[in-house]
Amino acid sequence: MSVERRIFERFSARFPVKFKDSRDEYGTDVFLRDASAWGVRFITCERLYLDDPVALEVKVHGGEFPTVLRGRVVWTRPANAAMWDVGLQFHKVDFMNMSRLFESALQS
Q: Can you give the residue ranges of every domain in the chain?
A: 11-107
Contact 27, 17 (CB under 8 A): yes
Instruction: Sheet containing 30-36: give its strands across.
Output: 11-12, 30-36, 39-44, 84-90, 67-78, 53-58, 17-19
Residue 22 φ/ψ, nearest 5 degrees: -80, 150
Query: What is residue 49's three-state secondary structure?
Result: coil
Residues of the chain above pLDDT 70, percent: 92
How much is the average pLDDT of 72-83? 95
How much is the average pLDDT of 76-94? 93
pTM for the whole structure: 0.82
pLDDT of res. 22: 82
Contact 36, 10 (CB under 8 A): yes
Kindly state which CATH superfamily the domain 11-107 is placed in. Answer: predicted glycosyltransferase like domains (2.40.10.220)
pLDDT of res. 6: 55
- Note the pLDDT tens digit of each residue in 1-52: 555 555 567 778 887 888 988 888 887 889 999 998 889 999 999 999 999 9
